Amino acid sequence: MKILLNGYKGRMGQAIVAAAENAGAEIAAKSDVGEPWTREQVAACDAAVDFSFHEATPALAEICAETGTPLVIGTTGHTPEERARIEAAAKKIPVVWAGNYSVGVNVLNWLVGKAAALLDSSFQVEVVEMHHRHKKDAPSGTAAKLISLVENARGLDASAERHGRVGLVGERSRDEIGVHSLRGGSVVGDHTVIFAGEGERVELTHKAESRAIFANGAVHAAGWVVGKAPGIYGMEAVLGLDA
């Protein structure tokens, strides 16, 4: 399998190079931010994998749509306009788009969705994530997914989110979703969703110890997406968790 890798100079890009080699796949083309793709380069690959910067993803998605090349997106922090361009491209090609490609995190997503539906608003939700000091966006794509799962399960929207607290913020409402992004050191990625009730607390946590888990998942997704119908797929589909 020939993979085009966008963002090969980054930490995740280097991990994907190693994961592809271990999986017997070939990184047939690679580029980084500021290095434009040609239509021929994209067309020569079986799938494209993007772990670059949010500004670079839409242009790659549009070239993939022209060439019919499936796309795997691990980049986060896209603006609404960038998301719209990617979604338009996904009408022509299959796209796996996830904030996190580890098996464990996607099981965490499934568990959080179930817990949010089973535990009513007497269990208040707080989402805490921590990453290395170099991460540029907050909250993480994984945290954003966890938040959306809680909102969907409880019939809430983004207005329920409270990103950090400072000063006299008043008593916490039952439907508020607290979101806290911690940054420092070399932390690969920690995510915890807390359901705090009266006299008891449920905490669901995933801690990543190596970027290899994300890279392995992304390479697996690149193999899975080939031949799928146009549209946007999550890792739940890749792992069969949406069945």
Select which of 78, 131, 191, 220 is catalytic. 131
| Annotation: binding site for (S)-2,3,4,5-tetrahydrodipicolinate | 132, 141-142
The β-bridge partners of 96 are: 72, 233
Give yes or no: 135 in active site. yes
Of 40, 204, 215, the C-alpha closest to 114 is 204
- Binding-site residues sit at 7-12, 30, 74-76, 98-101, 132, 141-142
The catalytic residue among 92, 135, 180, 228 is 135
Active site residue 54: no
State the Cα–Cα distance between residues 77 and 138, nearest whole angstrom: 8
> What are residue 213's phi and psi, to 5 degrees?
-65, -35
Contact (Cβ atoms closer than 8 angstroms) between residue 157 and residue 172 = no
In angstroms, the CA 175 to CA 117 distance is 13
Give first-to-last CA distance, the chain, whole Å.
27
| Alpha carbons 241 and 239: distance in angstroms, whole number | 6
Catalytic positions are 131, 135
